[in-house]
Structure 1
Amino acid sequence: MATLIGENIILRALEPEDLNFLFSTENNESFWEISNTQLPFSKYILKKYIENAHQDIYEAKQYRFVICNYNNNPVGMIDLFNFNPQHNRVGVGILLLPEYQNNGFGFEALKLIIEYAFMHLNVHQLFANITSDNLKSISLFEKFNFKQVGIKKDWIFSNSTYKDEILYQLIKP
């Protein structure tokens, strides 16, 4: 899969050199809520994941891009998941490290992935699942005209409390 190039970032495939970045990100408990993770990952498991990351999205039904600044430093990840070519839809999720938030990287990454999904995967729609308290993500997706189409009540149990999860869709214009 080709690298997607923006003005201030690039979206690229996982590389073996990303092992430590992936290890620290996937094992950061503050991110577990959005990734539905409950246990830490070993470096061995993540190394195997990176080795298989070359799989075509039509085969794996998902694809992870690393968001890098132009110094090729990883600043986050953006995932396409639950790809369904029969119904022409794919989910999208984004994670930016806190120190790289609020500088336009997320906006640019989402813009690139929307263009890629509509033009190259020929999907009819993208969807995102966002907890109702994740105001930064809600704001980001709404900037691209993702529309709230449903609320899953008490869907996520985190820190001894239930949270609603909002389903957003962007249908190809």
Structure 2
Amino acid sequence: MHLRALEPDDLEFLYALENDPDIWGVSDTLAPVSRHALREYLEHATADFYVVRQLRLVITTEIGSPAVGVIDLFDYDPLHQRAGVGITILAAERRHGYARQALALLQHHARNVLRLHQIYATVGADNSASLKLFRAAGFRRVGTRYGWLRTAQGWADAVEWQCLLHSPTTIEELA
């Protein structure tokens, strides 16, 4: 598994990913994204994490192989040294363990390179695969937000997850 920076060649991959209506509910998107907007995004995607307060990395199975997904750090808070985590795997590439491996790599990067104190995630209560993923990755379930996410079927609950990266306590002690 490998995480890499976005490249201009990722335009068509991002276009397919961002325009998949099946993931709009988890990505706070309501409309398709144009190639022009994605080109503009790619031009600025290499900006400093500490300046733009977000980082998007492409997930590949090995160096030079096609992208299978993306993993993001967003809403970076420099005072509290925390950021949100988002992950999307192409539909055809799911259930191969790529999300689990990519999340482990991101946790290592957030802890050892970015020196974050914690990362967190908001997951739809009906998204059993993501709930299982964050639990297995050592995140602690810290709450539920009721009626938090607007979906095509109405309002859905969201589960909040937190992972302390520099904690002297173990996950077992927090449970």
Give the structure-1-normalised TM-score: 0.92
1:121 equivalenced with 2:114 (yes/no) = yes
C-alpha distance after superposition, 1:58-83 (max 9, x if no partner): 01100100101225211000000011
**What is the distance in 2 between the residues matched to 1:98 and 1:29?**
12
Correspondence list, 1:125-140, <5 A: 125-140=118-133
Q: CA deviation at 1:160?
A: 2.8
**What is the distance in 2 between the residues matched to 1:10 and 1:104?**
13
Q: Helix, strand or coil: the match of 1:121?
A: coil
Q: Helix, strand or coil: the match of 1:75?
A: strand
Partner residue in 1 for 2:38? 46
Structure 1 vs Structure 2: percent identity of aligned residues? 37
Partner residue in 1 for 2:5? 13
Correspondence list, 1:58-97, <5 A: 58-70=50-62, 71-97=64-90
Partner residue in 1 for 2:147? 154
**What is the distance in 2 between the residues matched to 1:107 and 1:15?**
23
**What is the distance in 2 between the residues matched to 1:91 and 1:138?**
15
Q: CA deviation at 1:97?
A: 1.0
**What is the distance in 2 between the residues matched to 1:82 and 1:37?**
16
Moved over 4 A (4+): none
| Amino acid across the alignment from 2:134 | F
Partner residue in 2 for 1:6? none
1:104 equivalenced with 2:97 (yes/no) = yes
Give the structure-2-normalised TM-score: 0.91
Partner residue in 2 for 1:23? 15
Unaligned 5+ segments in structure 1 are 1-8
Partner residue in 2 for 1:169? 162
Q: Helix, strand or coil: the match of 1:23?
A: helix
Q: Helix, strand or coil: the match of 1:164?
A: strand
Unaligned 5+ segments in structure 2 are 168-175
Partner residue in 2 for 1:36? 28
- Across the aligned residues of Structure 1 and Structure 2, the Cα RMSD in angstroms comes to 0.9
